[in-house]
Amino acid sequence: MDGVQLSEEQAALVESPLESKIWLEGCAGSGKTAVAVRRLLRLLSQGVPAESILIFVPQRSLANPYIEALRDQVLYQGGQVSVHTIGSLSLQMVEMFWFLLAERAGFKHPQDLPNFLSLELVQYFMTRAIEPLVNQRDYFNSVRIDRARLYSQIVDNMNKAALVGFPISEIGSRLNAALAGDVEQSHIFGDAQTCALAFRDYCLQRNLLDFSLYLELFRDHVLSLPQAQAYMRRRFRHLIVDNVEEDNPASHAYIASLLEHCASALLIFDRDAGFRRFLGADPEHARRLRRLCDRQESLDESQVMQPAVRALGSQLAAQLGVVESSDEDIDPRAALKAEAQRYHPQMVDWVADQISDLVQEQLTPPDEIVVLAPFLSDVLRFGLMESLDKRGIQTRSHRPSRALRDERAARTLLTLARLAHPRWQMQPAEFDIAFALMTAIDGLDLIRAKLLTEMLYRQGALLPFSKVQSTAMQSRVTFELGERYDRLVLWLERYRDEGGAVAIDIFFKRIFGELLSRSGYGFHGNIDAGNICMNLVDSARNFRWSLDFLSRYDEPTDLGRDYVTMVDRGVIANYYRRSWETQDENSVLIAPAYTFLLSNRPVDYQFWLNIGSEGWSRRLYQPLTHPYVLSRGWQEGARWTEDDEQTWNRGTLGRLLLALTRRCRKGVFLGYSELSESGYEQRGLLLETIQSVLRRSSRGLAVELEK
């Protein structure tokens, strides 16, 4: 970004007096972050101590431009620039001032150090804390969703309470007042409230701090400590806040407290954004920070979108009531390409053909293409990757907030861990063995993997390939694959002979490094698989450390077995930074739409798939929580109606489409099939909106999509 040529307007902002507090707003792609990065470098070049600068963002991935710019700086004085989210800053401050606040905050062991919990560990301890209560009192007996997802919604309720600023004891009453339509639903919210309080008490008894608890401690205790106030005023003298509209009220309150005392500040606000509302974003509340700045500036011209792309985004958002369109005289059809298909596989093939043409005929770099869907199912992901691989185009995918067990590489490692630890008495099913063999051994298809499993899987162990009695069967599998299979079996046998007593994270690391990443095995040269394996290693290591910590309060357990059991239950994965930072210039990104937006980078072309799906606009079914009812903008005591739901859906889709088009330079391809993956007709809000906009421009493409 340091090599980007700034406009006169941008350069003037960079060269503003150092002792300025500036509010800078504009549309995405107008160069605001480029100004902030140059402003940061100017502060450093003028001798401002690095440790006095705070970069504050809603999510760590949004700080990547600043981190990359700092890497390129050979020398700057005064320590390191601090890069924080509200979560990381709260954790750091609570840890620093722990012994001054632990006793008055109600912890049973204030003399002991705290244990900060990741998302995965929160779900594990939530299960330990409330599962007996749920089973004993028959809680949530009418809720038909997976227990792991159910508990994650209780966690989400607690996090929302901390971010917005109300006590967790009010969660049930707020939800009940707005949403309870019958006695059963009222009981569900009451059960969720009881479980939240039970988990909080469990944490206080054992010095466990989940996100909601350490954010509350930061907000209610750390910020009131004179020592902490003096430290932060002295430490953070220069403030740069990016994407403030995507942050939450707790962050805004902290930023406001810093603005009173800091020497300089630059706050960046994206107009018409707020697509992270389901994660607590509050653009309206963020705007209140504007009056605390000395200067209010704006950048209004996009450096990304071509006129037709801009018109497409604004007209779609205007159709949904999010903005007033100012591009009615520009035809958005120039930014679109679409072709209706009858069946879903035909749509996938069409998408692959269009990408092939862009890359191989028009010489578009693959990393300037993203393929987006509201939800990226395994079927869609596999179909796209296979189709593009056949055309010689590399791909990569990123699907955060998924259960660890749903990742193919992780599932394989978990199955192999069960085979390597017979003392756990957790024998894998035959299908899991076949799946693991197919994934672990390069070139082994599912049919031959099933044959090997049927012939050689006995009593929780794999027999060597030589035990196959039939020569015809050996030839069918091939001796080359049989040799690779034998090396895997031999590795597991040697590990068991060693006693199988190493920590589970060390087991994952060893089998990946010593075997699965080698030539002839499934993870060799596979960046996605490598990232997932390292995420699993980090996850297992953090689990081991936390459970070792907890042994002073509870009975020790078999950590490896407990970890595998936890993952099998479907815990949602942590935020792993390496998954967001992986860049491959020769690959096309395949991801959910919101995941791409959170990387905050523009591309030349976007493919929007399954545009008939309701998933583009409709909220996920979450019977225990609600993102808007638990927000600051909701009027306490009001009822959530069907009209509110429709308004929410339209607003959500409108903001999403604006955000996507403002990160697109040249054009959008619409992937549409009349029948979904499951064979049902699709007529969602996105399709209807596109049809309405295009009818105003011309009937051509609209008629094409209706065929």
For residues 399 and 590, what is the distance between their CA atoms, to the nearest angstrom?
A: 9
Q: What mean pLDDT do residues 553-569 have?
A: 84
The pLDDT value given to residue 85? 95
Residue 417 sits in the same domain as residue 550:
yes
The pLDDT value given to residue 113? 92
What angle, rounded to 10 degrees, do the helices at 408-420 and 527-550 form? 50
The pLDDT value given to residue 600? 82
Q: 215-219, 334-338, 377-381: lowest mean pLDDT where?
A: 377-381
Torsion over CA: 226, 232, 235, 237 (sign): negative
Q: What mean pLDDT do residues 149-153 have?
A: 89
Greater pLDDT, 194 or 570: 194
Q: 22 pairs with which residues across the strands? A: 266, 295
Residue 415 sits in the same domain as residue 543:
yes
Percent of the chain with pLDDT over 90: 63
Boundary-marking domain end, from 250, 269, 299: 299
Residue 701 pLDDT > 80, yes or no? no
With respect to residue 313, please indicate whether it lies within any of the assigned structural domains.
yes
| Angle at 534 (CA atoms; ends 481, 396), nearest 5 degrees | 75
Residue 643 sits in the same domain as residue 677:
yes
In sequence order, the 6+-apart residues with CB closer than 8 A to the CB of 456 are 462, 463, 464, 465, 467, 468
| Amino acid code (one letter) for 404 | L
Residue 332 sits in the same domain as residue 408:
no
The pLDDT value given to residue 679? 80
Confidence of residue 702 (pLDDT cuts 50, 70, 90): very low
The pLDDT value given to residue 377? 85
Residue closest to 676 by CA, chosen among 597, 614, 593: 614
The pLDDT value given to residue 699? 46
Neighbours of 428 (CB within 10 A): 19
The pLDDT value given to residue 432? 94
For residues 45 and 36, what is the distance between their CA atoms, to the nearest angstrom?
A: 14
What are the pLDDT digits (tens) for 409-451?
Answer: 999 999 999 999 999 999 999 999 999 999 999 999 999 999 9
Please state whether beta strands 82-84 and 53-56 pair in parallel, antiparallel, or not at all (unpaired).
parallel
Cβ pair 29, 662 in contact under 8 A:
yes
Residue closest to 10 by CA, chosen among 41, 40, 39: 39
Q: What mean pLDDT do residues 175-203 have?
A: 92
What are the pLDDT digits (tens) for 505-519?
Answer: 999 999 999 999 999
Residue 23 phi/psi, 5-degree rounding, is -100, 120
With respect to residue 329, please indicate whether it lies within any of the assigned structural domains.
yes
Residue 700 pLDDT > 80, yes or no? no
The pLDDT value given to residue 328? 66
Residue 13 sits in the same domain as residue 141:
no
For residues 546 and 119, what is the distance between their CA atoms, to the nearest angstrom?
A: 13
With respect to residue 2, please indicate whether it lies within any of the assigned structural domains.
no
The pLDDT value given to residue 705? 56
With respect to residue 275, please indicate whether it lies within any of the assigned structural domains.
yes
Confidence of residue 703 (pLDDT cuts 50, 70, 90): very low
Residue 428 sits in the same domain as residue 552:
yes
Residue 397 sits in the same domain as residue 420:
no
Boundary-marking domain end, from 569, 599, 633: 569
| Amino acid code (one letter) for 676 | S
Outline where 320-427 has alpha helix (H).
344-356, 378-390, 408-420
For residues 396 and 367, what is the distance between their CA atoms, to the nearest angstrom?
A: 10
What are the pLDDT digits (tens) for 49-107?
Answer: 999 999 999 988 889 899 989 987 766 777 899 999 999 999 999 999 999 999 999 99
Q: 319-323, 546-550, 652-656: lowest mean pLDDT where?
A: 546-550
Residue 292 sits in the same domain as residue 312:
no
Residue 137 sits in the same domain as residue 45:
no
Residue 150 sits in the same domain as residue 77:
no
Residue 294 pLDDT > 60, yes or no? yes
- What's the mean per-residue pLDDT of the chain? 89
With respect to residue 100, please indicate whether it lies within any of the assigned structural domains.
no
What are the pLDDT digits (tens) for 577-592?
Answer: 555 555 556 899 999 9
The two structure tokens encoding residue 325: 């369109």
Residue 311 pLDDT > 70, yes or no? yes
| Angle at 241 (CA atoms; ends 633, 574), nearest 5 degrees | 75
What angle, rounded to 10 degrees, do the helices at 430-440 and 479-497 form? 110
Q: 25-29, 93-97, 111-115: lowest mean pLDDT where?
A: 25-29
Residue closest to 87 by CA, chosen among 292, 201, 254: 254
The pLDDT value given to residue 517? 94
Percent of the chain with pLDDT over 70: 94
Residue closest to 212 by CA, chosen among 116, 303, 277: 116
Residue 485 sits in the same domain as residue 603:
no
Q: What mean pLDDT do residues 650-678 have?
A: 92
With respect to residue 220, please indicate whether it lies within any of the assigned structural domains.
no
CB-facing half-sphere around the CA of 100: CA atoms within 13 A: 15
Domain count, the chain: 4
pTM, 2 dp? 0.85
The two structure tokens encoding residue 170: 């009010």
With respect to residue 690, please indicate whether it lies within any of the assigned structural domains.
yes
Confidence of residue 279 (pLDDT cuts 50, 70, 90): confident
CATH number at residue 12: 3.40.50.300
Q: What mean pLDDT do residues 662-676 have?
A: 93
Residue 46 pLDDT > 80, yes or no? yes
**Full domain range(s) for residue 436:** 404-569
Q: What mean pLDDT do residues 310-316 have?
A: 92
Chain centre to alpha carbon of residue 313: 24
Residue 676 pLDDT > 50, yes or no? yes
Boundary-marking domain end, from 192, 214, 236: 214
Residue 180 phi/psi, 5-degree rounding, is -65, 115
The pLDDT value given to residue 640? 92
With respect to residue 527, please indicate whether it lies within any of the assigned structural domains.
yes
77-86, 269-278, 553-562, 692-701: which is most confident? 77-86
The pLDDT value given to residue 190? 94
Own/partner contacts of 543-549, CB < 8 Å, gap of 24 or more, are 543/120, 543/121, 543/124, 543/504, 543/505, 544/503, 544/504, 544/505, 546/115, 546/117, 546/121, 549/115
Residue 382 sits in the same domain as residue 464:
no
Block residue for tokens 């390939």: 465
Neighbours of 224 (CB within 10 A): 10
